[in-house]
Amino acid sequence: MTVTIKDVAKKAGVSIATVSYAINGSPRISEATRNHVLSIATELNYVANNNARQLKQKKSNAIGLFFNSWFGPIYSELVKGIEQICHQHGYDLVACSMYGNEHSTAHKYIRDRMVDGAIILTNSFDDDFLKSIARKDFPLVVLDREVSASHIYNILIDNFGGAFAATKALISSGCKDIYYFGGPDDSYDNQKRLDGYIAALGYFNISVNHDLLIKSDFTEKSAYSQMCELLENGKRPEAVFSANDEMAIGIIRAAKEHGIDIPTEMKLVGFDDIHMAELMIPRLSTISHQKTGMGELAATTLIKALSGENDMEELRILPTKLILRETL
């Protein structure tokens, strides 16, 4: 049975990132830790992927894109932008999902540097691991999270500002009890959008009511079920800020089935401005941002880093815009 880097980390009582630091001679760890890890690696007969390392000595002319899932309306527009820039500059795009976790193809490609650089759209790689593999000759672009380290470039959208604008618009329409339908707790986007929602309430001197904070998972199905449960329990929200459009679509469906008219009885604002937002009945008011443009910027940034360009911005925040339609 092949010994993996995870096996070494477990036996040595350290993180995978620390094992990578030790193997790659990184100064981020002490000499004592390095010697300890290397002795465990020798004991377990761990062999790094030398073939991949030899291949990496030559440019592959490929960029890796690593993300959690193939599905979702945001991904298609994002990937479109990345593909366009890669094609223009003669790079192939290798896209891998994180299915299989540490045994996934994505982990293998990035761990063994089988591409020239990578665009990361997943929190499955922890910060320490990303810091341990980022190099001048292997730059990373990270989307929807912040990782501060050399050769790692962060591209974000203004989640806070967008959420603030959405909540402010609902309050300005006369609503005070505004529900927040959020995503997973470990989602960077969700946390920033929640922060924006709370800040907008504070701006208008409205206290946060934790009973109005609904923990969901960014999917239409879950938001539909949760809104149905609220309505069936006699709760009729006068307003909802949904942290993405997919959940907003589920909320619209639940409201229709329970005879709730939007926007006269319940106002609603989503986030992302996906294609379906404009096709809904009623058409969804939402927060728009540059999805294809974000992909183009991510690929352009990575290619500039690969070409050795200096004085590059390590953090870029793309603007958002409130789109008023028929649910507000």
Residue 169 to residue 324: CA distance in whole angstroms:
9
For the chain, domains (ranges, CATH) are: 5-55 (1.10.260.40), 62-157+291-318 (3.40.50.2300), 159-288 (3.40.50.2300)
Q: Count of residues for the chain?
A: 328
Contacts of 46 (CB under 8 A, 6+ apart): 3, 4, 5, 7, 8
| Chain segment 267-301, per-residue pLDDT in tens | 999 999 999 999 999 999 999 999 999 999 999 99
User: Which pairs with CB-CB distance under 8 Å and at least 24 residues apart come from 141-150?
Assistant: 141/117, 141/298, 141/299, 141/301, 141/302, 141/305, 143/78, 143/119, 143/294, 143/298, 144/188, 144/189, 145/188, 146/188, 146/315, 148/314
pTM of the full predicted structure? 0.80
The reported pLDDT for the residue numbered 69 is 63
| Residues 198-209: tens digit of each pLDDT | 999 999 999 999
CB 9, CB 123: distance < 8 Å:
no
Q: Is the pLDDT of residue 52 over 70?
A: no
- Which range has highest mean pLDDT (59-63, 87-91, 101-105)? 87-91
Average pLDDT over residues 302-322: 92
Residue 97 has pLDDT above 90, yes or no: no
76 vs 206: CA distance, rounded Å? 38
Q: Do 193 and 165 contact (CB within 8 A), yes or no?
A: no
144 within 8 A of 138, measured Cβ to Cβ: no
